[in-house]
A and B are shown apart, each in its own frame.
Chain A
Amino acid sequence: MENLVLLSIGDQGWGDELLAGLMITLMLALLALPVGLFIGTSVAALSISSSRIGRLFALFYTTLIRGLPELLTLFIIYHGVGLLLNQVVKWFSPNVKYVEFSPFLAGVIALGLVFSSYAAEVIRGAWQAMDKGQKEAGIALAMNRWLIFWFVERPQIIRLALPGLGNLWINLLKDTALVSVIALDDLMRAANIAVGATKKPFFFYLSVCLLYWLICVLCERVLFKMETRLNRGIHTGR
Chain B
Amino acid sequence: MLAIIERFGPMLIDGALITLKITAISVTLAAMLALPLSLLRIQASKKLRWPVQMFISFFRGTPLIAQLFLLYYGTGQFRPVLMELGLWGFFRDPLNCALLTFTLNSAAYQTEILRGALQSVDRRSIEAGRAMGMPNLLLYRHIVLPLAYRTAFPALGNEAILMLKGGAVASVITVMDLMGQTRRAFSQSFDISLYLVAALMYLTISIVFVVLWRYAERYLNRHRILQQRRRSSRSTILN
Question: In the complex, which residues of chain B have a beta carbon less than 8 angstroms from the beta carbon of A177?
Answer: 63, 65-66
In the assembled complex, the Cα of A79 lies from the Cα of B187 at a distance in Å of: 11
Q: Quick check: A205 and B195 within 8 Å, CB to CB?
A: no
Binds B, one of A45-53, A127-135, A195-203, A228-236: A195-203
Query: Contact mask A155-179 → B, CB, 8 Å, 1/0?
Result: 0000000000000001000111110
A105 near B: Cβ within 8 Å? no
Question: In the complex, which residues of chain B have a beta carbon less than 8 angstroms from the beta carbon of A217?
Answer: 57, 61
The chain A residue with its CB closest to the CB of B195 is: A76
B51 near A: Cβ within 8 Å? no
Question: In the complex, which residues of chain A have a beta carbon less than 8 angstroms from the beta carbon of B192?
Answer: 76, 79-80, 83
B42 near A: Cβ within 8 Å? no
B186 near A: Cβ within 8 Å? yes
Query: Contact mask B155-193 → A, CB, 8 Å, 1/0?
Result: 000000000111111011000000100110010001010
Which parts of B38-83 form the interface with A (CB within 8 Å)?
57-58, 60-67, 69-70, 73-78
In the assembled complex, the Cα of A200 lies from the Cα of B78 at a distance in Å of: 10
Binds B, one of A32-40, A67-75, A141-149: A67-75
Which parts of A174-206 form the interface with B (CB within 8 Å)?
174-178, 180-181, 188, 191-192, 195, 199-203, 205-206
A: number of interface residues (CB 8 Å): 37
How far, in Å, is A217 (CB) from chain B's closest CB? 6
A208 near B: Cβ within 8 Å? yes
Binds A, one of B29-37, B128-136, B139-147, B197-205: B197-205
Question: In the complex, which residues of chain B have a beta carbon less than 8 angstroms from the beta carbon of A216?
Answer: 60-62
B: number of interface residues (CB 8 Å): 40
Q: Quick check: B206 and A213 within 8 Å, CB to CB?
A: no
Q: Quick check: B74 and A202 within 8 Å, CB to CB?
A: yes
How far, in Å, is B238 (CB) from chain A's closest CB? 30
Q: Quick check: B64 and A201 within 8 Å, CB to CB?
A: no
How far, in Å, is A194 (CB) from chain B's closest CB? 12
Q: Quick check: A68 and B74 within 8 Å, CB to CB?
A: no
Contact of A69 among B69, B78, B168 (CB under 8 A): B168
How far, in Å, is B67 (CB) from chain A's closest CB? 7
Question: In the complex, which residues of chain B have a beta carbon less than 8 angstroms from the beta carbon of A209?
Answer: 58, 62, 66-67, 70
In the assembled complex, the Cα of A172 lies from the Cα of B101 at a distance in Å of: 20
B207 near A: Cβ within 8 Å? yes
Question: In the complex, which residues of chain B have a beta carbon less than 8 angstroms from the beta carbon of A191?
Answer: 66, 69
Q: Quick check: B171 and A71 within 8 Å, CB to CB?
A: yes
Query: Contact mask B73-110 → A, CB, 8 Å, 1/0?
Result: 11111100000000000000000000000000000000
The chain B residue with its CB closest to the CB of A203 is: B77
How far, in Å, is A80 (CB) from chain B's closest CB? 5
Q: Quick check: B165 and A174 within 8 Å, CB to CB?
A: no
How far, in Å, is A24 (CB) from chain B's closest CB? 14
Contact of B207 among A67, A76, A175 (CB under 8 A): A67
Question: In the complex, which residues of chain A have a beta carbon less than 8 angstroms from the beta carbon of B168?
Answer: 69-72
Given the interface contacts A72-B199, A178-B169, does A202 sit within 8 Å of B63 by beta carbon? Answer: no
Q: Quick check: A180 and B65 within 8 Å, CB to CB?
A: yes
Question: In the complex, which residues of chain B have a beta carbon less than 8 angstroms from the beta carbon of A68?
Answer: 165, 199, 202-203
Question: Which of B63, B198, B199 has the most chain A CB within a 10 Å cutoff?
Answer: B63
Other than the given A67-B207, A70-B168, 17 more pairs (CB < 8 A) read A67-B165, A68-B199, A68-B203, A72-B168, A175-B63, A180-B65, A188-B63, A188-B69, A192-B69, A200-B77, A201-B73, A201-B74, A202-B78, A208-B66, A213-B57, A213-B58, A217-B57
4 nearest CB pairs, A to B: A177-B63, A69-B168, A202-B74, A216-B61
